[in-house]
Amino acid sequence: MLIRITFLGTGAGTPGRDRYLPAILIEDGLRRILLDAGEGVQYRLLEVGVSPLKITHVFITHLHGDHVFGLPGLLATMAMLGRREDLIISGPTGIANFLRNSMEIVGDPPFHVRIYEIEPLSGVKDVINEENFSLQCTSARHTVPDCAYSLNWRTYVGKFNPGKAKELGVPVSLWKRLHMGETVVLNDGRVVRPEDVVEVRGSGLIKIVYTGDTAPANSIIDIAREAQMLIHESTFSAVEDENLVWSQGHSRSVDAARVAREAGVERLVLTHISNRYSDPGLLAAEASKVFPNVIAARDLMSLVITS
């Protein structure tokens, strides 16, 4: 499996010449997922060659304008282009009302919008479960309800041995689950583990966590544990006063790095960077003193994760 992450907008609060407002495109071969939809998201999709009709999911972290004001226009364009496929939208409490009010302006779309409205809680909550993909959320530490998301993909963990599966009496209907790293229970009560029928070569899980806006929080550490990638807001530099930054529900570069270190993630990507910093690489340099595998996102930058 190959997952491509493209940063459509990496700015904070107001757009800049080089940084549009927050939006991230995730492509896994079956889905095209938007994380947040700041103003200008349609133009950025045009630049990377992705039609709005191809977007399958939109996950909104919170209802501040810089994260959501691009969504009504996106829905209107989908309607004008004749979309018919369902669109899945997830967001915190209030997202359904926001969409209803938006539709009064742009008109009801000729496609079905499936809304998952979430009350962000400190624990990890399951939101969506599809065949090889799931979405979880927890509460970020911001000034309004904010969903930090964990996007999880099940992948094949190694070479499957059908002969062993037949010897153990495992029904064919359960083979894929074992191949993707799940333990199964047979009708007679026997437990079959992946290692019983698979030459295990990996964890079978790809995990990307996106915080939205947040001050450093234990809830983020918990949901991000052992993720391949943590995309954490870094609105400010380490030189800013931490108490002032945290009171605004934001983080500094070093705050994001400490969260990444505590969670044991493989890679940290800083985003939601204030336009007061002309070189976001300076924030990455600060963070690297705490957590070495870090990069500051730039608009239209793409990263790839493979299983």
Q: Catalytic: 66?
A: yes
Cα distance between residue 28 and residue 30, in whole Å: 6
Cα distance between residue 50 and residue 92, in whole Å: 26
Q: Which helix (H) or strand (E) holds 263?
A: helix 253-263
Question: Is the sign of the CA dihedral 135, 139, 143, 144 positive or negative?
Answer: positive
- Cα distances (angstroms) measured from residue 206 to each of 111, 156, 263, 270: 31, 11, 15, 19
The one catalytic residue among 28, 36, 66, 146: 66
Q: Is 179 helix (H, G, I), strand (E, B) or coil?
A: helix
**Under 8 Å between Cβ of 252 and 234:** yes
The Cβ of residue 38 has, within 10 Å, a number of other Cβ atoms equal to 26
Based on the number of CB atoms within 10 Å of its own CB, is 19 exposed (0-12), middle (13-18) or buried (19 or more)?
Answer: buried
**In sequence order, what E strands does 146-291 have?**
147-154, 158-160, 184-185, 191-192, 198-200, 205-210, 229-233, 267-271
230 phi/psi in degrees, rounded to 5? -115, 120
Would you name the residues annotated as active-site residues?
Answer: 66
